[in-house]
A and B are shown apart, each in its own frame.
Chain A
Amino acid sequence: MTSAQTPSQSPSQASAPVVRPTNLAEAAEALTGGDGRVEIRGAATARDWAGRPEPADLVLDTTAMTGVITHNPGDMTVSVRAGTPLRVLNDELASHGQRVALDAARVDAGATVGGLVATADAGPSALVHGSLRDLVIGTTVVLADGTPARSGGHVIKNVAGYDLSKLLHGAYGTLALIAEVVLRLHPVPAAETTVRLVCPLGDAAAAARAVLGSPLEPVALEWADGALLTRLAGNPTTVTARAQRLATLLGPSAEPLDTGTAATVWQRHRELVSGPPGEAAMLRIGTRPSRLPEVLAALVALGGSRVTAGLGTGVATLALPADPGTLEQAHRLVYRAGGSSMLRSRPPGSDAPAWGPPPSAVAVLRAVRRELDPRGRLGAGRFSPWM
């Protein structure tokens, strides 16, 4: 293990030793026999999301566990080490006309596959492809005691055994270390076009309903920066024809964007989701799509800004003042609307609550955690105060 042990410093965890395994065996070795608290860290692009990590005795840095293990283009599946940045993986797959169909905003910042699974992150294309929970078909993990365990496999259709990949999705480094991930792939669309309709959120919701009621099959439908953005994907000639049908449906103010402008508006969308570098907190919420406009209006009244809203998915992100009172109100407001909310980044030192009321199945979450990590080694603090 000494070869993988790299003494390195992290600003907030200067005293905790860092171990950087390069593969599954080294990761298992790093956890075997120890009993201290472990913080699992990838590219650290979401380190300030969810509950704050409590001080750990060891940081397990996954960024040296990289690379494709197997990729058979004909099967449209790939297995990778979990520390591989998704951006790097997708660059590699692009030469085969394939991709992992996830467009979370922080992919550009170098987020790892394992980190994106652990944080249940997703972007606008979740409208069609879902999140990584829908794209991961197998996982190899290492439990807190060093036990490696596999579930799922290399085939897309598979109902043998529990789907433990799901359990790791959104677990924020509690429960187990994700060491290897098998993903299903999708073809890179031959062409994409975005149609923009400048309008306030309320009008956008009505327009979004018309788009979703049409047979045009958008692959993303987001309101951001004062405009409804509808993305279509397909064959170069047919996608243009469909964009025309869409523009007709949405009325004279709707405009199909040229490639450069489309890239710019989606880049802007990612910047808004990623949040400002300043003093605000970013809140991620999900409600039934029909309730999203009213919930967002109420959150804007609390001081919300930089709203991006998935009008088909019901998922939105916005900035709020980072004081605990405001965030507490925001969580409560979303909860009362039947939705979910979580803090996704906040200024250093902010003690705004990361989570709202616990889910009703929190006792099962705790019980599963006790089974998999009886000593609570992994990810302490991430689900504070419920777990």
Chain B
Amino acid sequence: MTRSGVEAVHGALGGAPASVLDDATRRAFDEALGPENVIHDLARLRSYECDGLTGYRVVPALVLLPRTAEQVAAAVGVCAAHGVPFVARGAGTGLSGGALPVAEGVVISLQRLRRVLEVDPVDRIAVLEPGVTNLDITRAAAPHGLYYAPDPSSQQVCTIGGNVAENSGGAHCLKYGFTTNHVLEMEVVLADGSLVTLGGPTGEQLGPDLRGVFLGSEGTLGIATKITVRLLRVPETVRTLLADFPSVVAAGDVVSDIVAGGIVPAAVEMMDTLAIEAAEAAVQAGYTLGVPAALVVELDGPAEECDTEFELVKAICERHGCTRLHIAADAEERAAIWRGRKSAFAAVGRISPDYFVQDGVVPRTRLAEVLARIAAMGDEVGLRVANVFHAGDGNLHPLVLYDGAAGQTELAESLSGRIAELCVELGGSLSGEHGIGTDKACSMPKMYSDADLAVMDRVRRGFDPGGLCNPGKLLPTPRLCGEQPGKYRPHPLEQSGVIERL
């Protein structure tokens, strides 16, 4: 996106930040939270102007930094009383603009609610405040031989509150499921400022599963202030292999045969030539340059089971013309394989001045087809597309490479958008893990009918009749959909190597 384009987005979504709230409203926030917990200063407000989707920026009117659930409820209560829109924010690592502020509204940061309240090794649960990072849950559980399964690649910094909002997955969700499958209970502040509990200590429900609706609702139905998650026992054995194939089709056939063999791997990831080239340039993880496709397959579980299935997977790889099979001999070699896989995204910056990242899902059996179509679409407009994806569940992350200085931005942006819509056309989804947020709200009509979207909006109104809770996200609005999305720019934390994208 060009400079002038970015400003156009500011103009449409942002506006003047300073004077949109009247003095009485500002005082009410100061009184509810204590003035030391309210940011009014423009320079400090600016650090909240975007999340990981850095092409969209809006400076909020205020940022609130509550320390307790009661303060979150009080802050939302002021919003309700004064008609102020609010946007909850965790670590700000989201990739779809889900935490993009509203100019006439406030950002409620959950970063100060970061206590691990309880780890119970008998019931195998942890009770967390929303600002606890994903990896810190596993750190707290590890002394008991337990861990928290969902592992988004930003897990060192992303928070459980954000994971709840986005229903985050990770490389291992093929076997273990998403955040929604691991959260039992949540204390939630609703849009009217009330504190309620959704879910309970077991899978039993008292009526419709509101917990399930809230999970993945991208902050549009309320703010989670306490989250109870299930912990799993650390598997007895983990086996990881890296295999090269003469074609993407051959690698895809391996995935199909693994599935047909009744094996549920912990993870199956695929990278194409371009993605391997980028990853090797960045981290030298031992991938083979020039091969058309590489698969990472990981199995875990009881030793006997894992060993038997691992032999089957090796045989399947060989049957499909595997040109090299590298088995991680120890934890260090396994980590190297994953380092290569996880660095691929940011590493693309080494082989291209600019790139857009896309997130779409197709039925697994259509992987080869979608990759061929993507390659053809790229050829047609003269742009390269690198592919890194969760092959086990058909979740693609095509990286559209371009040179903004050469005027390719709009071309690349359009190609990236068409790839997401192609996923829908092939029976898949607009997003597997990054969310809809601001970025794809306008594409939702490609996936759902007006009636479908109207029903979602009715559910939203049931939770938030005033429309104050993260407005403008997830569902298309005329105000938003007149504008074009911004290009991907690395998040500051990503540039400094703290987080990875995939």
A-B contact count (CB 8 A): 288
Interface size class of B (residues with CB under 8 A): 35 or more
Contact of B204 among A76, A171, A285, A360 (CB under 8 A): A285
Q: Cβ of B101 < 8 Å from any Cβ of A? A: no
* Contact, CB under 8 Å: A157 / B395: yes
* Contact, CB under 8 Å: B452 / A151: yes
Contact of B203 among A131, A163, A214, A237 (CB under 8 A): A131
* Contact, CB under 8 Å: B459 / A161: no
Q: Cβ of A364 < 8 Å from any Cβ of B? A: yes
Residues of A within 8 A of B309 (CB): 235
Q: Cβ of A372 < 8 Å from any Cβ of B? A: yes
Q: Cβ of A377 < 8 Å from any Cβ of B? A: no
Q: Cβ of A298 < 8 Å from any Cβ of B? A: no
* Contact, CB under 8 Å: B431 / A160: yes
Q: Which of B380-418 contact A (CB under 8 A)?
A: 390, 393-395
* Contact, CB under 8 Å: B431 / A159: yes
How many of A's residues come within 8 Å of B, CB to CB? 92
Q: Cβ of B217 < 8 Å from any Cβ of A? A: yes
Q: Cβ of B167 < 8 Å from any Cβ of A? A: yes
Docked pose: A126 CA to B181 CA in angstroms: 11
Q: With contacts A160-B447, A161-B444 known, is A359 near B207, CB below 8 A?
A: yes
* Contact, CB under 8 Å: B447 / A153: yes
The residue on B at minimum CB distance from A342 is B206
* Contact, CB under 8 Å: A149 / B455: yes
Contact of A361 among B197, B201, B263, B474 (CB under 8 A): B197
Q: With contacts A75-B364, A134-B177, A315-B204 known, is A242 near B209, CB below 8 A?
A: no
* Contact, CB under 8 Å: B448 / A161: yes
Residues of A within 8 A of B145 (CB): 213
Residues of B within 8 A of A237 (CB): 304, 308
Q: Cβ of A313 < 8 Å from any Cβ of B? A: yes
Contact of A169 among B122, B198, B209, B235 (CB under 8 A): B209
Contact of B363 among A72, A238, A288, A363 (CB under 8 A): A72
Docked pose: A359 CA to B235 CA in angstroms: 36
Contact of A147 among B256, B305, B451, B465 (CB under 8 A): B451
Q: How far is the CB of A374 from chain B (nearest CB, A)?
A: 10
Q: Cβ of B429 < 8 Å from any Cβ of A? A: yes
Residues of B within 8 A of A239 (CB): 305
Docked pose: A164 CA to B463 CA in angstroms: 13
Residues of A within 8 A of B497 (CB): none
Residues of A within 8 A of B447 (CB): 153, 160-161
Residues of A within 8 A of B454 (CB): 147, 149
Q: How far is the CB of A207 from chain B (nearest CB, A)?
A: 13
Contact of A120 among B204, B362, B462 (CB under 8 A): B204
Docked pose: A363 CA to B363 CA in angstroms: 38
* Contact, CB under 8 Å: B302 / A170: no
User: Which of A40-48, A107-115, A186-194, A266-274 contacts the other chain?
Assistant: A186-194
Q: How far is the CB of B172 from chain A (nearest CB, A)?
A: 12
* Contact, CB under 8 Å: B208 / A170: yes
The residue on B at minimum CB distance from A188 is B262
Residues of A within 8 A of B200 (CB): 286, 339-340
Q: Cβ of A56 < 8 Å from any Cβ of B? A: no
Q: Cβ of A385 < 8 Å from any Cβ of B? A: no
Q: Cβ of B202 < 8 Å from any Cβ of A? A: yes
Q: How far is the CB of A277 from chain B (nearest CB, A)?
A: 24
Q: Which of B353-373 contact A (CB under 8 A)?
A: 361-365
Residues of B within 8 A of A18 (CB): none
B456-481: contact bitstring with A at CB < 8 Å (1 yes, 0 no)? 10111111010000000011000000
Q: How far is the CB of B418 from chain A (nearest CB, A)?
A: 17
- Listed by A's residue number, 9 A-B pairs whose Cβ atoms lie within 8 Å are A130-B177, A151-B448, A160-B436, A167-B208, A288-B125, A288-B202, A342-B204, A359-B197, A365-B210
In the complex, besides A242-B304, A364-B210, 20 extra interface pairs with C-beta distance below 8 angstroms are: A147-B454, A148-B451, A151-B448, A153-B427, A155-B363, A155-B429, A159-B167, A161-B474, A166-B215, A167-B208, A189-B262, A217-B233, A237-B304, A242-B305, A288-B120, A290-B122, A359-B197, A368-B208, A371-B459, A371-B462
List the interface of chain B (C-beta within 8 A of A). 120, 122-125, 145, 166-167, 169, 173, 177-178, 180-181, 188, 190, 194-198, 200-213, 215-217, 233, 235-236, 256, 259-260, 262-264, 301-305, 308-309, 361-365, 390, 393-395, 427-436, 440, 444, 447-449, 451-456, 458-463, 465, 474-475
Q: Which are the 4 A-B pairs with shortest beta-carbon distances?
A: A166-B212, A286-B202, A286-B204, A215-B236
